[in-house]
Structures are given as C-alpha cells and as structure tokens.
Amino acid sequence: MFSKSIIWPTLTAFLFFFIIPYLFYWATALCFQEYVQTDISRPDNEIHLGLLALGVLLLSFAFVRIFQKWSGGIFSNHNGFIFGLWIALIEVISIGFIRYATQDAFEAPFYILDSIYWTAMYAIGGVLVAIVCRRTS
C-alpha cells in the first residue's frame, strides 16, 4: 500500500496543492477581495497549518489512489489531464454552483474565477501525478 509508486506521487501532489494555492491566493488577494461580501476567512495568526497540511495530504493521497485505479495503469499525461478535469467537475464546479445558490459570502465572479483556477490546478496536478506515477511504476 505504501510503496514508492504511491508515496512519490502523493508527495508531489501534496507539494503542488499546498504551495501553489497559497502563492496564488496571496498574489491575487486584492483582485478577489472586490467580490467578497462576507469575509469568512480566518486571520493569518489563527490558521491551523497542521490541519491544513493534513487535509492537503489526505486530498493528495486520495487523488493519487483514485487516479491510479481510474487510469488502469496507463499513466499518460492525457489521462492525468482528463482525470484532473473530472475531479474539477465533481469537486469544484458543481460545489461552486451549490455554494453560490446557498451562500451569500461571495459574488458570482468570485466563484467563476475560483472554478477556473481550480480546474487548471487539478488538470496540472493530474499531469504531474501521471508523470511521477509513470516514473515510479
């Protein structure tokens, strides 16, 4: 279960999904701020980095395991990209519609921009995982 074919792709996905969103949201905070109606984020001094890291690690592990099962052992970049798009459709786009319909925290452009960003993140993450899976299998 914990072989190099699962550990290295999980570590790659973890680093990608942990570092890049932090940098992206830090760099685009002012752009997104205009679409915030109710600020629901924690102050910087109250962010629980350990829990955040654990959550991203679990996401990364699940992402890799599901990709490995879904791809049937064919770890092509195309399969990784398509897998990332499916995950984005399941998790980001559909939940974005549900949140916009039920919450009053953000305006519609925020959800659209966020969905585009996360769709790209999962597609790129899928390709990265496919590359690492191909090299470690």
What pLDDT, in 10s, does the model give residues 84-135?
A: 999 999 999 999 889 889 987 888 888 888 899 999 999 999 999 999 999 9
91 vs 57: CA distance, rounded Å:
17
Residue 73 DSSP one-character state = T
120 exposed, middle or buried (CB, 10 Å; 0-12, 13-18, 19+)? middle
The boundaries of the domain holding residue 45 are 4-136
**For the chain, how many structural domains are there in total?**
1
pLDDT of residue 123: 97
Q: Which of 28, 12, 129 is nearest to 82 (CA)?
A: 129
pLDDT at site 120:
96
User: What are 40-79's pLDDT values in tens digits?
Assistant: 676 667 778 899 999 999 999 999 999 999 999 999 999 9
Q: Select the more confidently predicted residue: 34 or 69.
A: 69
| 3-state secondary structure at position 3 | coil
Count CB neighbours of 129 within 10 A.
Answer: 27
**Contact by Cβ (8 Å): 123, 93:** no
